[in-house]
Chain A
Amino acid sequence: MNPAELTAYITSNFSGQLETVENDQAEPYFIVPLSDLVPFSKFIHDDPQLELNYLMNMAGVDTGEQFEVVLNPCSLVNMQRLFFKVVLDRGDPKFDTVSNLWAAANWYEREIWELYGFEITGHPNLKRFLLPDDWDDGFPLRKGWVGKNVIPLPEK
Chain B
Amino acid sequence: MTQDLHTEKMVINMGPHHPSTHGVCRLILTLDGENVVECEPVIGYLHRSIEKICENRTYAQCIPLMDRFEYVTSMSCNWVFALATEKLTDLEIPERAEYLRVIMTELNRIASHLLCIGVTGLDLGALTPFLYTFRERELILDLFEMTCGQRLTYNYIRIGGVSQDIPDEFIPKCREFLDIFDEKVDDYEKVLTENPIWMARNKGIGVISKQQVYDFAISGPSARASGVDFDIRRDDPYSVYDRFDYTIPVFEGGDSYDRYRARVQEMRESAKIIGQALDQLPGGDIRAKVRAMFKPKAGEVYSRIENSRGEMGIYLLSDGGKKPVRVRARGASYNHLLIIPEIIKGLKIADLVAIFASLDVILPEIDR
Q: Chain A interface (Cβ within 8 Å of chain B)? A: 23, 25, 27, 53-57, 59, 61-64, 70, 72, 74, 76, 79, 81, 83, 102-104, 106-107, 128-132, 140-141
Contacts and interface: CB of A to CB of B under 8 A. Distances in A.
Contacts of A72: 302, 313, 315
Interface in B218-264: 223, 228, 230, 235-236
Interface of B: 42-44, 47, 49, 51-52, 87, 212-217, 223, 228, 230, 235-236, 299-302, 304, 311, 313, 315, 317, 319, 325-326, 328, 330, 334-335, 338, 367
B49 A59 contact: no
Given A63-B326, A64-B325, 12 more contacts: A25-B87, A54-B217, A56-B217, A57-B302, A59-B328, A61-B317, A61-B325, A70-B302, A104-B335, A128-B44, A132-B44, A141-B52
Contact of A104 (B49, B87, B216): B216
A130 to B, nearest CB: 4
A56 B43 contact: no
Chain B interface mostly:
mixed
A130 B42 CA distance: 9
B44 A103 contact: no
B299 A23 contact: yes
Contacts of B217: 54-56, 102, 104
A76, A128, A131, A132: most-surrounded residue (chain B CB, <10 A): A76
Nearest to B327: A59
A34 to B, nearest CB: 18
Contact of B317 (A63, A81, A107, A132): A63
Contacts of B334: 107
Contacts of A70: 300, 302, 315
A83 B214 CA distance: 17
A12 B176 CA distance: 57
B47 A130 contact: yes
A56 B304 contact: yes
A53 B326 contact: no
B44 A129 contact: yes
A56 B218 CA distance: 9
A68 to B, nearest CB: 9
A130 B365 CA distance: 12
A79 B235 contact: yes
A128 B42 CA distance: 9
Chain A interface mostly:
loop
A54 to B, nearest CB: 5
Nearest to B313: A57
Contact of B215 (A62, A64, A102): A102
Contact of B301 (A25, A106, A141): A25
A53 B43 contact: no
Contact of A79 (B223, B236, B335): B236
Given A56-B304, A63-B325, A130-B44, A103 B215 contact: yes
A63, A72, A83, A104: most-surrounded residue (chain B CB, <10 A): A104
A76 B302 contact: no
A76 B47 contact: no
A59 B326 contact: yes
B214 A54 contact: yes
A104 B219 CA distance: 12
Contacts of A129: 42-44
Given A129-B44, A131-B47, A61 B302 contact: no
5 contacts: A23-B299, A59-B326, A76-B223, A107-B334, A140-B49
B319 to A, nearest CB: 7
A9 B46 CA distance: 43
Nearest to A76: B230
A144 to B, nearest CB: 11
A130 B319 contact: no
B65 to A, nearest CB: 15
Contacts of B213: 76
Nearest to B304: A56
A132 B43 CA distance: 10
B215, B228, B230, B338: most-surrounded residue (chain A CB, <10 A): B215
A83 B311 CA distance: 17
Nearest to B217: A104
A62 B300 CA distance: 13
Contacts of A107: 334-335, 338
A48 to B, nearest CB: 14
Contacts of A57: 302, 313, 315, 328, 330
Contact of A56 (B42, B87, B299, B313): B313
